[in-house]
Amino acid sequence: MTDLLTPLFGGVALLADPVLWALVLIGTVFGVIVGAMPGLGTTLAYGMVLPFTFVMSPVNGVAFLLAISVGSQYGNSIPAILMGVPGSPAAVLTVIDGQKLHKRGQSGLALGVAFVAALGGQLASIPMFVLLVVPLMGLAYSFLYPEIFALYFLGMIALVSLTGRNVVKGLVAAAFGVTIALIGLDPINLTSRLDFGFREIRSGFDEVAVVIGLLAVSELFRSARQVFQWGDVTGEAKAARFPSWKAIRPSLPAMFGGTIVGTIVGAIPGAGATPAAMVSYQQAQLFSKHPEEFGNGSIEGIAANEAAQNASNSGELIPTLGLGIPGSGSMVLLLAALNVQGFVPGPNMVNAAPELLYASIAGLLAATIFLLLTGWRMATLMLKAVMLDRQVVLALSLAVVVLGTYAINTRILDVFVALVFGGIGYVMLRYGYSTAAAALAVFLGGEFERNLRIGLNFHDNDFFAMISRPITATILAAALAIFAYGLYRQLRNRRNKDEAPDQSISSPG
């Protein structure tokens, strides 16, 4: 208990510093703006402001960067709900349910649930982060390739329910994503695979560029099919009332589940907010009393997605601070900022400098409090954005996506990759191949194979020995249990639909 309370009190004590508050304020607003702009994500935002952190104290620098993460994960949901344009790939599932509610005139409900879920997910994940980071430092050497393989296997299970209405098309999309993820160097022999002699893709495609293409660019291309104004479709949504507690309450279990899943998935190196949101959406659908509402304006879907995205901020910090292993691109930059300040990333970093842990808590906490006070106002201000010319917003969004993708590595190849996968994603969207499944597979596929093969090598290619390690076996059993339960729920739902043919949703052939 002392292990938990000391960092929490340490973090709260730092909130007495007005400079920290000022930086958190700037960071959160900057994060919300960057998050709301298509193609610009947390990693890019970190890259933009990194040089400024060199002149800050380490505590203020960490708090400032984490405030950007909190703002960014909330900001991406606002244009997703109001305009159907995901601020970042992680918000693509918010588009599906949020836009449906917005079109039904329930913008306040969609924005309100997203707001409460983002705050709730962020706040609840902070004690989870503290609870996990301290023991994880002790577990650093028992969480090896087989255990990480098991975690990726858990993520792969989520692919099944992201397949959409046509399961075969969804599986084809997922296999396509895995194939794209595998292109590049073989993880064991480092020989090139399917690069066709192109030096530029010898190490594979940039995952972020592929996912931006599949999720964000494809959606913009699809939106370009039609010319109309948002106001014509949704009416003049100049004001939205904050939903009542009664309206929000049904989404609380999904929010809670999203927080847990977001923190855990966020903690897996290489995962981050997008897989966290997708896996959480799947779990919420699995355990929902109304799974048929998912994709048709489900507040549980929005809640799970938003809570998971913000919770993943805390999750990503677990391996970053606990083990010195950055969980995502933005965490690489956080460690880079700390490195410049003289800290040595590794399992002993937090033991040597506990103030970094306190600063993380202070940054996450202060940004959440600041969002609590201003987040709803920001969302309602954005309501006026639906009065903007839709076609101009789409054209500028495309230009910003190109600029943002280029800025990640200042490489034009990434722009080509995002645009080509945007075109492929557009065709997939049009003909019912789930881009969400493909994108999640891109994130998981490479690491799934790598951890499986290196794990097998560790056990002389004895698969049973590998999966019977205690932690690995526990995670795999949990994954299989979730899969079996999901299958049972799907069969039960199908049987219920068959028994009530009037309400059935036709399954495409």
Partner 1 sequence: MDRRLDLIVALAFAAFGAFVCLQASTIDTGVMRDGVGPRAFFYGTGALIAAGGLWIAARRLRLWTVSGPEADDDYSDDEAGYPASAGRAFAIIGLSLAYAVLFNPLGYLFATPLYVGGVLFAFGKRSLLHLLVTPLLYTASSYLIFAQFLNVRLPVGPLTGLFRDLGWIIL
Residues that bind partner 1 (CB under 8 A): 48, 51, 165-166, 168-169, 171-172, 175-176, 178-179, 182, 186, 188-194, 217, 221-222, 224-228, 233, 391-392, 394-396, 398-400, 402-403, 406-407, 410, 412, 415-416, 419-420, 422-423, 426-427, 429-433, 445, 449, 452-453, 456-457, 461, 463, 506, 508-509
Shortest distance (Å) from residue 187 CB to partner 1? 8
Angstrom distance (rounded) from CA 254 to CA 308:
10
CB-nearer residue toward partner 1: 57 or 179: 179
Closest CB to partner 1 among 297 and 319?
297
CA distance 300 to 318: 27
DSSP annotation of 466 reads H
Rounded Cα–Cα distance for residues 36 and 136 (Å):
34
Nearer to partner 1 (CB atom), residue 25 or residue 420? 420
- The nearest distance, CB 235 to partner 1, in angstroms, is 14
In terms of Cα–Cα distance, which of 507, 433, 474 is closest to 159? 433
| Rounded distance between C-alpha atoms, residue 309 and residue 85, angstroms | 17
Residues in CB range of 480: below 8 A, 6 or more apart:
none
Taking the complex as a whole, how short is the minimal distance between the CB of residue 167 and partner 1, in angstroms? 10
Half-sphere exposure of 149 (CA within 13 A, CB side): 20
The least distance separating partner 1 from the CB of residue 175, rounded to whole angstroms, comes to 4
Work out how close the CB of 351 gets to partner 1 at its nearest, in angstroms, rounded to a whole number.
35
| 218 vs 368 by CB, closer to partner 1 | 218
* Partners of residue 185 on adjacent β-strands: 192
Task: Give Dmax (Cα) for the chain.
Answer: 67
- Give least dist CB 443 to partner 1, A: 15
Name residue 324's amino acid: G
Residue 250 has which token pair? 């049904």
- DSSP codes of every residue in 361-382: HHHHHHHHHHHHHHHHHHHHHH
Q: Give me the least distance between CB of 213 and partner 1, in Å please.
A: 11
**Cα–Cα distance measured from residue 319 to residue 133, given in angstroms and rounded to the nearest whole number:** 7
140 vs 420 by CB, closer to partner 1: 420
Nearer to partner 1, 427 or 487 (CB): 427
Measured in whole angstroms, how far is the alpha carbon of residue 14 from the centre of its chain? Answer: 28
**Residue among 189 and 503 whose Cβ is closer to partner 1:** 189
Q: By C-beta, is 9 or 463 nearer to partner 1?
A: 463
Q: Quick one: CA dihedral 179, 183, 187, 188, positive or negative?
A: positive
Residue closer to partner 1 by CB (options 2, 410) is 410
DSSP assignment of 387-403: GS-HHHHHHHHHHHHHH
- DSSP symbol at 163: S
Calculate the CA dihedral of residues 390, 115, 281, 245 and round it to 10 degrees. -120
**Residue closer to partner 1, measured from CB, 241 or 430:** 430
Pair of tokens at residue 53: 């952190």
Which of 252, 251, 277 has its CA nearest to residue 262? 277
Minimum distance, C-beta of residue 145 to partner 1, in the bound complex (Å): 12
Minimum gap (Å) between residue 190 Cβ and partner 1? 8
| Minimum separation from the CB atom of position 429 to partner 1 (A) | 7
